[in-house]
Structure 1
Amino acid sequence: MNVNPYVFYDGDCAEAFTFYSQCLGLPVEAMMRYGDTPGGSPVEASWDDKIMHACINIGESMLMASDAPPGNYHPPQGISVALQVDSVAEAESAYTKLSAGGEIHMPLEKTFWAERFGLFTDKFGIKWMVNCDPLDQGASS
């Protein structure tokens, strides 16, 4: 089994996934628009260029998303995308890049459970946690 987050955006999914791709150095695996739906778009024509489904593979997991159809978007609450990295350098890079333009809730720092851990909401309103396990568990600085 796998658990993969599926995030909904308020019309800026393409911008968000392009940003994540650049920040993480990973390709966007899928970016399907509502207007490309076989049999016709399930949303009003003004949303044909919005994203019906997007995906980025991150390790063995996927971050998936779409633009919520008009009138169906609700800001996410009570959930974060948790990004687990293997090194302090990866943690610092991902945290710095992904949090740019967003709101910092906890600076990336050493904690009693992690070599680095930090919390932020990105500029698209998505909450993230970046975690790097202690060095004695195989992570390196």
Structure 2
Amino acid sequence: MDAKVQAYLSFENSKEAIKYYQDVFGATDVYRMSPTDGQAKMFGLDKKSDLNNYTMYGGFKILGIEFSFSDSFGNPINQNGPVSVMLDVNSEDPKAISAIDDLYDQLADSKQVEINMPFESQFWGNRMGTVTDKYGIVWMLSCSPWSQK
């Protein structure tokens, strides 16, 4: 059976959030779809609303990892829930190491995230660090040997 886990993020304003992820995390391959008139009615949006300001569904990539997103449409967003997002790269791949090092440096230099744990070698042998973005999402950066999994 083929399956995968994909993070699905919800925001009050996805258009604003995606700009943040492009600027701060280097998100690529961004796309978004606005709701149809029928979907807008279902979510109780004002008939005079510009539907282009809302996001029904979208996606982007960070380090080649796919993420989905949408607006919350008035539903509560659990900012500090028990789930974090881990970006794990293969420490046996020099390009992957360079990419995650660059991402961490970009995040630290941006001053747009809180560094919870610096990205460095840990007692178990892998490199790891964590940051919290402005939306309260905890991002774990990990660099581990995939041949040992």
TM-score between both structures, scaled by the size of structure 1: 0.75
User: CA 1:25 to 1:60, structure 2 compared with 1: closer, same or farther past 3 Å?
Assistant: closer
Distance 2:87 2:137 in 1: 13
- 1:50 matched to which residue of 2? 54
| Paired residues, number | 133
- 1:33 matched to which residue of 2? 34
User: Which structure has the greater CA radius of gyration?
Assistant: 2
Could you tell me whether the CA contact under 8 Å between 1:88 and 1:115 is conserved in 2?
no
User: CA 1:133 to 1:104, structure 2 compared with 1: closer, same or farther past 3 Å?
Assistant: same
User: CA 1:33 to 1:122, structure 2 compared with 1: closer, same or farther past 3 Å?
Assistant: same
- Counterpart selection for 1:116 from 107, 127, 130: 127
Runs (4+) of structure 1 moved beyond 6 Å? none
* Residue deviations 1:27-79 (CA, integer Å, cap 9, x gap): 21x31123xx2535134134731222111245774211111112433324111
Residue 20 of structure 2 is aligned to residue 9 of structure 1: no
* Residue deviations 1:75-106 (CA, integer Å, cap 9, x gap): 24111111122433222221233453121110
Distance 2:16 2:125 in 1: 31
Deviation at 1:126, TM superposition (A): 1.4
Residue 22 of structure 2 is aligned to residue 21 of structure 1: yes
- Percent of aligned pairs sharing the same letter: 29
- 1:107 matched to which residue of 2? 118
Q: Which runs of 5+ in 1 are unaligned?
A: none
User: Which amino acid is the alignment partner of residue 139 of structure 2?
Assistant: W
- 2:93 matched to which residue of 1? none
- 2:97 matched to which residue of 1? 88
User: CA 1:98 to 1:64, structure 2 compared with 1: closer, same or farther past 3 Å?
Assistant: farther
Deviation at 1:5, TM superposition (A): 0.8
Normalized per residue, the structure richer in helix is 2
Superposition CA RMSD, Å: 2.8
